[in-house]
Amino acid sequence: MQKVVVVGAGFGGLAVAHGLDGVQVDVTVVDANNFHTFRPLLYQVATSGLSPADVAYPVRGIVSRHANLRFRHDEVTGVDWDRHLVVLASGAALPFDRLVVAAGAAVNDFGTPGVAEHGFPMYQLPDAVRLRNHIIGRFEVAEADPSVVDDGGLTFVVVGGGPTGVEVAGALIELIDKVLERDFRGSAVDVDRARVVLVEAADDLLPMFHPTSRRYTRRTLAGRGVEVRAGTTVTEVTASRVRLGDGAQIPTHTLVWAAGVRGAPLAEALGVPLGRGGRVPVDPDLRIPGHPEAFVVGDLAASGDGDGGLLPGVAQVAIQGGRHVARLIAREVDHRNADGNGAGGRGDVHEPFRYRDKGSMATIGRASAVAELGHGVRLKGFTAWVAWLGLHLVYLMGFRNRLMVFVNWAWNYLTWDRGARLILGAGEGDDTRPKRDASRQERTPPVG
């Protein structure tokens, strides 16, 4: 029986694994984490709306339901193409007949000075927890020493006006105005002095959306208190300042970086040519050129969109790409079983991948969102928000997670209470304790 190794337990990798259920192949999914992360909701963990366990699901809980699926908790460090081996950090190696690389992406800081040292990325679950610690910790520090507010101690800068940046900014201003304002009422903290600033290099937010959606988004955020700085870039980040391309400086000790991603570091270890943003150029059927036994799906694949551009790094592209690759592998098995020499069988084993765009959504906050569903159908406000909630519940992994997220959303909606506003794992490097005043010492947690 042929061996298929799938690198990555994200949307694309799990779509491949699910698609090969029941096919006569042995499938091994490899990931450095033993859980699948539902990244579209990471910002809600960072802003205390959900707990980490609500957006993560054990990979073994998925593969154990299928007889031909296995999971290996390890990190892939390279591929030996000559011997058809996936090399692991533990020193072991996995043989493969077919390889699917779905390793995802990493934060792209575009070489901006100071981002790696002082910024908070929003791509992994630990990133969201660390940002939550920091946000709540900023208010605890300010309660102990209100003077830190004068130097940007309660100013939160979000960089990137795409869906992630918009969602972070909208959720953060709600957390401050509706939850923390109540928590710190009567204390020494003047919560009204807290600021949320959203910086976008393009001339407007959500540049990939229709102008009607963009105007609604910007108007709604501004109405809720978010300061929007569009048409300018971040040129430097220090422990206590953000410098913009227009010459402005924003005193702050919190910079959330949601300005883009690039291919995962594993791409450089594959030994194949890389394209823009560290992504792997692929053939129309998602195979790696020169390696017909290997595919790339999801954020790591530089796959053409048919109009001279590349498909975006979004969950739907990864899911559909993963299903496509699973179909091709199943067809190859079918052909081989038909007569043993690749003839016979049904279906084209080199069928090009065709992405079906199901639209785009972004939530701005409570009862406000924008949705573009194709064919000129655009929603905004409460209707779009309900559609956004429903879609994310459908794609969330695991019944328990769906139930907990639904209960949390309902509770938050009815009470304006976010029960996950906890500081967890604060240690020597954290600035979440009043006695370690990062605003006055110009310290921030290390990025890692």
Burial tier of 183 (Cβ tally within 10 Å: 0-12, 13-18, 19+) = middle
Q: Indicate whether 41 belongs to any domain.
A: no
The Cα angle at residue 227 between residues 120 and 444, in degrees rounded to 5: 25
CB–CB of 227/196 below 8 Å?
A: yes
pLDDT value for 431? 54
Range of the domain at 245: 115-259+359-441
159 and 246 together in one domain: yes
Q: Is residue 349 part of a domain?
A: no
Residues 255 and 270 in one domain: no
DSSP 446: P
100/122 same-domain check: no
Query: Within a domain: residue 350?
Result: no
Starting at the edge strand found earlier in the chain, the sheet holding 241-244 runs: 234-237, 241-244, 249-251
69 in a structural domain: no
* Secondary structure (H, E, C), 319-380: HHHHHHHHHHHHHHHHHHHHHCCCCCCCCCCCCCCCCCCCCEEEEEECCEEEEEEECCEEEE
The helix/strand/coil state of 130 is helix
pLDDT on residue 370: 98
What is the domain-level CATH number for residue 28?
A: 3.50.50.60
Set 167, 174, 332, 372: catalytic member: 167
Task: Give the separation between CA 401 and CA 397, rounded to whole angstroms.
Answer: 7
Rg over alpha carbons for the chain, rounded to the nearest Å, is: 23
Residue 167 is among the residues annotated as catalytic for this protein? yes
**Ranges of H-type helices in 176-314:** 181-183, 211-223, 266-269
- Do 319 and 240 share a domain, yes or no? no
Q: Give the predicted TM-score (pTM) of the model.
A: 0.90
Tell me, yes or no, whether 215 and 132 share the same domain: yes
441: which residues sit within 8 A by CB, 6+ positions away? none
Let me know whether 386 and 240 are in one domain.
yes
Residue 66, domain member (yes or no) = no
CATH code for the domain of 130: 3.50.50.100
Of 305, 339, 373, the domain-final residue: 339
Residues 153 and 240 placed together within one structural domain of the fold: yes
Residue 129, in any domain of the structure? yes
pLDDT tens-digit profile, the chain (448 residues):
899 999 999 999 999 999 999 999 999 999 999 999 999 999 999 999 999 999 999 999 999 999 999 999 999 999 999 999 999 999 999 999 999 999 999 999 999 999 999 999 999 999 999 999 999 999 999 999 999 999 999 999 999 999 999 999 999 999 999 999 999 999 989 999 999 999 999 999 999 999 999 999 999 999 999 999 999 999 999 999 999 999 999 999 999 999 989 999 999 999 999 999 999 999 999 999 999 999 999 999 999 887 878 999 999 999 999 999 999 999 999 887 776 554 445 678 999 999 999 899 999 999 999 999 978 899 999 999 999 999 999 999 999 999 999 999 999 999 988 888 899 875 434 555 444 444 333 333 333 3
Tell me, yes or no, whether 235 and 374 share the same domain.
yes
Do 121 and 103 fall into the same domain? no
Residue 432 belongs to a domain: yes
How does DSSP classify residue 447? P
Considering the domain architecture, whether residues 299 and 397 belong to the same structural domain is answered as no
Could you give the angle at which helices 211-223 and 163-174 cross, rounded to 10 degrees?
20
Contact 168, 44 (CB under 8 A): no
Q: Are residues 161 and 246 in the same domain?
A: yes
Judged by DSSP in three states, 112 sits in: coil
Instruction: Indicate if 185 and 146 belong to the same structural domain.
Output: yes
Overall number of domains in the chain: 2
Asked if the structure places residue 15 within a domain, the reply is yes
Spatial distance between the Cα atoms of 344 and 366, rounded to a whole number of angstroms: 55
4 Cβ contact list (under 8 Å, min separation 6): 16, 20, 25, 26, 27, 28, 96, 97, 98, 99, 100, 329
